[in-house]
């Protein structure tokens, strides 16, 4: 099981100056909301911000150690304006109008 601290440490390997907030959405160590705040993101589009993070965690997602990452990558001024960003597509607190892709489990 992956821990919140491990996730923070891994993100800081990519963006050392980042303020990183992690929520283990289900307490299972495989569904995470990851909020990364850094000046590094200034001038970058959303996908450009997420790509280095996704590339870093790609192998962990491929072997299903991590099942879901909800990434919010923002500058300090955006973080101040946006407020809370935690979202759980499996949660019951609100109706979901987005895309959530489930990969079939591979048989061994």
Which residue shows structure tokens 């705040």?
A: 37
Question: What is the CATH architecture assignment of 4-78?
Answer: 2-Layer Sandwich (3.30)
The structure's pTM equals: 0.77
**β strands within 7-101, DSSP E:** 19-24, 31-37, 68-74
pLDDT in tens, 46-105: 999 999 999 999 999 999 899 888 899 999 998 888 766 665 555 555 444 344 445 555
Q: How far is CA 27 from the centre of its chain?
A: 15
Among 15-19, 40-44, 85-89, the range scoring the smallest mean pLDDT is: 85-89
**Residue 29 near residue 7 (C-beta atoms within 8 A):** no
Domain boundaries, given as residue ranges, for the chain: 4-78
Q: Where are the alpha helices (DSSP H) in 63-90?
A: 76-82
The pLDDT, as a whole number, for residue 80 is 87
The pLDDT, as a whole number, for residue 45 is 93
**Residue 7 near residue 32 (C-beta atoms within 8 A):** yes
């Amino acid at each position: 099981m992956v821990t919140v601290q491990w996730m923070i440490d891994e993100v800081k390997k990519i963006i050392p100056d980042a303020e990183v907030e992690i929520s283990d959405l289900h307490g299972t160590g495989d569904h995470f909301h990851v909020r990364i705040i850094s000046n590094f993101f200034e001038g970058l589009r959303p996908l450009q911000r997420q790509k280095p993070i996704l590339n870093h965690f790609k192998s962990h997602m491929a072997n299903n150690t991590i099942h879901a990452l909800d990434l919010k990558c923002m500058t300090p001024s955006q973080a101040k304006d946006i407020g809370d960003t935690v979202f759980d597509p499996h949660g019951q607190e609100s109706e979901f109008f987005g895309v959530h892709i489930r990969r079939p489990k591979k048989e061994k």
